[in-house]
Amino acid sequence: LVYFGYSMFQPFIPIWFMGNEFNVRDLTESYDPMHSRIYYNRLTWADYDTNQDHLNAVRKMIYIRKKYKNLIGPSTHRLKDKPMVKVPVVGTQPDLPGYGYYNPSGDPVGIIVLGTKTNAVGGIRVKLPLAEMRLDGYVQYNFHNLMSDTITTLAPENGDEFVLEDLSAWDSLIYKIEPNWTFTLLDNFDSGGVATGDLNHNLAVRQAGSSAQYGYTLPHYAHQLTAIGELAMNDGEAVDLDANLMPYLASNFTVKVDGKVTTDWISFSVIGDVDNARHLSPMSFLVRAFGNDDVLWVNHGVGGSGWSMSVSQGTMDAALGSFNPHDWHTYEFRVAASSATSGTFGFYVDGVAIAPSLTYQFNDSTDRTLRWVNPPGGNGLWDNLELTLDVYPEYEGWAVDEGLAAGMNDARADDPDLDGMNNLVEYALGGNPLVDDAAVYAPVFNISGDWVTYVYNRRHDYAIRGLTYGLKVSVDLSGTWTDSGTAYETASVAIDSEFDSVTNKIDITGIPQGFLQLEITEN
């Protein structure tokens, strides 16, 4: 059965004949033509359970090949053009050489096949060509055993080696490999009670709970960890996280850090390979404790363009009650990526939105890290760094979170609360699918003179979720609806951290009657 599956997942054989998986004895036995070829043999019904198990396994293999046909399917081109790789094994060898497939474009995903006919006690150590498979750069990977439907999360050892534990013959034949998108970086800067200029001191303790440990580079001689567990930056220069956080920071993420100004100003940035200075980064802030009324600068937009937004003391006081840059505050970026280089982010202080929807555009897609800066003669303190990925749930995850029952009321077209908004509309507009709340979340409109104003809610990250919102108009319900998309959109204002309020204005001069509807689709 291992040989059968090992061959079936290869691209060489476009079709196969079933039957050879039954009752064929190992050819190491004394040769008996009546039992070494299926066409000389009848099924032994006394071995029904064994045959049934084998048949189910073959069915599973056929299902896997069909489901992942874009990767596994038969080659229609020269074999050398097939995106395949050799999968070397370190130490204990499988019965047959390992091989794998990868996706040459689009989502990073691979499939490997291991011919493990016998149990491999202690596991097999595979050496994956991660760069060639477009899977390099991640901290952890999910290995999905497609035969047993189990998933194991593994971190690479020695750069590209993975130990697959307790392999047992054919049920560990084939794995799907994808990056694990769960990523957390925490640092409380706990020095263990000593003041030290070694910014990487006590790293394992202070970054406990992180997906991986990362040190710091470019430390200035005057920077230190304080005895009470703070990052003290003194007399200028920068501190960088010694890590490239791509591709994680090409997705949605939140990064927050506590900071306070001692003298002059402090700054924190997400930087790239090109946009690698605080004033050039399209995602940075600076807190000032001197000079005019502007106490905050926030940079956004296109990288390299300089500071783009100032926030006054009065604005901060109105938002927070009072704001003193010499006190501890939590500063936060909430990022919704639309590509590896661009998207939107909200800037928050102490959990309050100061600028909830700003755009950013980096000039490179290969490097991202974090940078802290203060000026010559300036001093500041930092604490409690927290970076997490925000893998926003798709519809299915939302349905589970909202308490919908699978197969009963969780379909997109279902309307379990009978409020006229089906589940997809509730998901897109922010409603509760189990509460009659159409009066709160359904679109609203009004007519003033020759203008109709139409307002609806839209998710910040609608593009990432595959949602499309657009207006359709008609002058006669029995006639044709015209798809107008966002042509009438005039404003989009953040309601909260998840939704915007979108305003559309339509000129109805000379139109005696008309009809509008909001169309929401999901890719």
Q: What is the pLDDT of residue 111?
A: 93
Average pLDDT over residues 493-508: 88
Mean pLDDT lowest for which of 123-127, 273-277, 286-290, 348-352?
Answer: 123-127
Q: Which DSSP symbol is given to 376?
A: T
Mean pLDDT (the chain, rounded): 84
- CA separation, residue 484 to residues 336, 429, 504, 506 (Å): 26, 19, 11, 11
Q: What single-letter amino acid sits at 64? A: I
Q: What is the pLDDT of residue 98?
A: 84
Average pLDDT over residues 222-226: 87
Q: What is the pLDDT of residue 167?
A: 55
Higher pLDDT, 414 or 94: 414
- For domain 443-522, the question of CATH label 2.130.10.10 is answered with no
Residue 444 β-bridge partners: 455
Using one digit for the tens of pLDDT, what is the confidence trace for 410-457?
999 999 999 999 999 999 999 999 999 999 999 999 999 999 999 999
Which letter, b or e, does each residue of 38-50 get, where b requires 16 or more Cβ atoms within 10 Å of its Cβ?
Answer: beebeeeeeeeee
pLDDT of 81 over the 70 cut: yes
Q: What is the pLDDT of residue 20?
A: 45
Residue pair 267/284 in contact (Cβ under 8 Å)? The answer is: yes
CATH number corresponding to 184-389: 2.60.120.200
User: Minimal CA–CA distance to 243: which of 392, 378, 385?
Assistant: 385
Average pLDDT over residues 474-503: 87
Higher pLDDT, 42 or 158: 158
Q: What is the pLDDT of residue 51?
A: 63
Mean pLDDT lowest for which of 93-102, 116-125, 138-147, 392-401?
Answer: 116-125
Q: Of the segments 161-175, 302-316, 455-469, which one has the largest average pLDDT value?
A: 302-316
Cβ atoms within 10 Å, residue 195: 13
- Give the whole-angstrom CA distance, residue 64 versus residue 174: 9
Using one digit for the tens of pLDDT, what is the confidence trace for 1-33?
555 666 677 776 544 444 444 444 444 444 454
Q: What single-letter amino acid sits at 450? A: D
Structure tokens at 369: 């890290």
User: Minimal CA–CA distance to 486: which of 471, 467, 468?
Assistant: 471
Give the start-to-end residue ranges of the domains of the chain. Answer: 2-179, 184-389, 443-522
Using one digit for the tens of pLDDT, what is the confidence trace for 387-402?
998 655 578 778 877 8
- Give the whole-angstrom CA distance, residue 518 versus residue 478: 17
- Run of H or E including 73: none
